Amino acid sequence: MERELIVTGVGGQGIQLLAKTLALAATREGRYAMLAADYGGEMRGGPSKAGVVVGDAPLHALPILPSAWSAIFAHHRFTEGVQDRLRPGGIVVANTPLVDPDGFRADLRVFAVDAMAAAKSAEAPQASGFVLLGAFNALTTMVEPASLVAAMEELLPPYRRQHAPANARALEAGAATVRAGVA
- Percentage of the residues of the chain whose pLDDT score is greater than 90: 81
Say what the pTM is. 0.93
> Per-residue confidence at 180, pLDDT binned at 50, 70, 90?
low
| DSSP string over 41-86 | S-SSSSEEEEEEEEESSS--S-SS-SSEEEEEE--STT-TTTGGGE
Does 63 or 82 have the greater pLDDT score?
A: 82
How does pLDDT run across 32-50, given as a tens digit for each residue? 999 998 887 666 778 899 9
> Per-residue confidence at 101, pLDDT binned at 50, 70, 90?
very high
Q: Which of 179, 115, 101, 181 is nearest to 145 (CA)?
A: 179
Q: Which of 23, 82, 22, 20 is nearest to 47 (CA)?
A: 82
